[in-house]
Structure 1
């Protein structure tokens, strides 16, 4: 059970995250300052650093939450589905949300391509691959190789992350295209 103090701390963190992502969508990551985020959240710069170590952490925290939702959707897929089918179905609601909130999603996807976020995005991808690999291992043909020695789950998870990233990169440059179709096309490169 969480304490009142923990719930209050989480509520403040959520408020800061929401304010930050609104600013990021409007101005981009690099152009948004910690001072602007703190002011939008109704706190001082010093208070901001009580909740987050860096501005980059704001990006990583939200992306990890996003990735955990996809992992939960993947885990909930029928056990009989193959890896690619299950991944595509798990990300379908995310694709629909991106397309429904077209302008905001495009702004955020473009922001995540800013040079200042490269290491944060690389860390996110590493964590996401690690999160998905055990879920995908159950969907791959069984072998005598122990999970911790089998590169296939990591390879499939990495390919899925790169397929999504590739589709988003093309969509950022060609927003008239369907993100869902771009993802299907990217995933088809690995599913043949």
Structure 2
């Protein structure tokens, strides 16, 4: 294993630096991961490929996991904001969760190349998938809390945690399908279709 801690500096590589564009940095890193494997690429190599310093790279992305799972915190925040803005009582819980998911994912259509590559890497590599455990756990927990509030049950009860896990798994599967087969469709459109009529709730 390469000792990344011993690599303290990097010279600026040739070409125009992409320091101001985190999406371009992420796309460069993801392509390196896809070509060489995530374990074989260090943060120093990523910085060199981008023509930026390690310090600049770490300012945007503190780890390789952040390069792959980048945006999940923001997506969770969008989910929570959309759910908080839900309509008056009477809308089925499944519809509320679906609408919040679609709102959370909608901005990803603007960076489709990066999003597709992220999802393909995550799905193909168990280690990379494991890097996102905290993000998946956070989203599932929030959904369980919404179920608990809506149905007046415990967020740690069987109903809440299994239903939340089912929604989370369905959303992930739909997004991976979009990455592989979605073509020109937006991730939000695919997610909306996948979660419609799922029978959850």
* TM-score between both structures, scaled by the size of structure 2: 0.65
Give me the whole-angstrom Cα distance separating, in 1, the residues matched to 2:112 and 2:21.
Answer: 23
Give 1:68 deviation, angstroms. Answer: 2.2
Q: Could you tell me whether the CA contact under 8 Å between 2:174 and 2:191 is conserved in 1?
A: yes
The change in CA–CA distance for 1:17 and 1:33 in structure 2 (over 3 A counts) is farther
Tell me the alpha carbon deviations over residues 2-39 of structure 1, each in whole angstroms, 9 at most, x when there is no partner.
Answer: xxxxxxxxxxxx96965642323444462753013434
Unaligned runs of 5+ in 1: 1-13
Which residue does the alignment assign to 1:22? Answer: 27
Give me the whole-angstrom Cα distance separating, in 2, the residues matched to 1:55 and 1:151.
Answer: 34
Which residue does the alignment assign to 1:163? Answer: 170
Give me the whole-angstrom Cα distance separating, in 2, the residues matched to 1:18 and 1:185.
Answer: 27
Aligned length: 173
Which residue does the alignment assign to 1:87? Answer: 97
Whether 1:72 aligns to 2:77 is no
Which residue does the alignment assign to 1:152? Answer: 159
Q: Could you tell me whether the CA contact under 8 Å between 2:29 and 2:46 is conserved in 1?
A: no
Tell me the alpha carbon deviations over residues 51-73 of structure 1, each in whole angstroms, 9 at most, x when there is no partner.
Answer: 83x42244446322322221222
Which residue does the alignment assign to 2:193? Answer: 184
Give 1:151 deviation, angstroms. Answer: 2.7
Equivalent position to 1:109, from 72, 96, 119: 119
Q: Could you tell me whether the CA contact under 8 Å between 1:25 and 1:107 is conserved in 2?
A: yes
Q: Could you tell me whether the CA contact under 8 Å between 1:17 and 1:58 is conserved in 2?
A: no
Q: Could you tell me whether the CA contact under 8 Å between 2:69 and 2:118 is conserved in 1?
A: no
Give 1:166 deviation, angstroms. Answer: 1.1
The change in CA–CA distance for 1:189 and 1:105 in structure 2 (over 3 A counts) is same
Unaligned runs of 5+ in 2: 1-18
* TM-score between both structures, scaled by the size of structure 1: 0.68
Equivalent position to 2:65, from 50, 56, 59: 56
Q: Could you tell me whether the CA contact under 8 Å between 1:167 and 1:182 is conserved in 2?
A: yes
CA RMSD in angstroms comes to 3.5
